[in-house]
Amino acid sequence: MSGDPGASGPPPALEVLRVDPRLLDVVSSLFWATFPDRRLGRAEPDADGRVALTTDAPWPAAAAERWRTALDELLRQPFARAGGAYLREVRDRAGRREELALPLAPDAYRGGAWLVGPFRDASAADAWAGRVLRPPWVHDVHRHGEDWYADVFVGDPQA
């Protein structure tokens, strides 16, 4: 894990967001603009390629709200809207986390938990998933903006 260039001491430990590597620089800059006195660390990419951003603890409610507001403003930016950027909460066996990412085009999907698309309609998203996904991967179809996407994730074998 690495922190910002001027950091010293132990690395930050509290995960604040998992980020698509295509958005890492802009999100890091946003973090430092929002919290100039905090340290920012980066973990190695997870199995799906997203990078956990961490900061020093504690993360009081006011800081969490300020970060949420900054992320909401980022998502309203033209480049984020044009690219289909999304922020989602993930709850799985590893716990709860938030992820900020861009969708993957159907032909770029190589596995993992991603929002894939866009598709022309819900049936096209379902058809793609039927051709490509194999257990334990499952999907839900969602409309994001004006487009349709397959939200790919690991299915719960207990369900």
pLDDT at 7: 45
pLDDT at 158: 54
Question: Which letter does DSSP use for residue 104 in this model?
Answer: B
Total-model pTM: 0.83
pLDDT bucket at 98, cuts 50 / 70 / 90: very high
Alpha helices, DSSP H only, in the chain? 24-34, 61-75, 78-83, 122-132
Q: Which residues contact 16 (CB under 8 A, 6 or more apart)?
A: 31, 53, 54, 55, 59, 67, 98
Q: Report, as an integer, the average pLDDT of 64-86.
A: 95
pLDDT in tens, 25-37: 999 999 999 999 9
Residue spans of the domains in the chain: they are 1-102, 103-159
Q: Which residues contact 117 (CB under 8 A, 6 or more apart)?
A: 84, 103, 105, 106, 125, 144, 147, 148, 149, 150
92 pLDDT above the threshold of 90: no
pLDDT at 3: 46
Q: Report, as an integer, the average pLDDT of 77-101.
A: 90
* HSE, side-chain direction, 13 A CA sphere, residue 66: 12
pLDDT bucket at 6, cuts 50 / 70 / 90: very low
Neighbours of 87 (CB within 10 A): 15
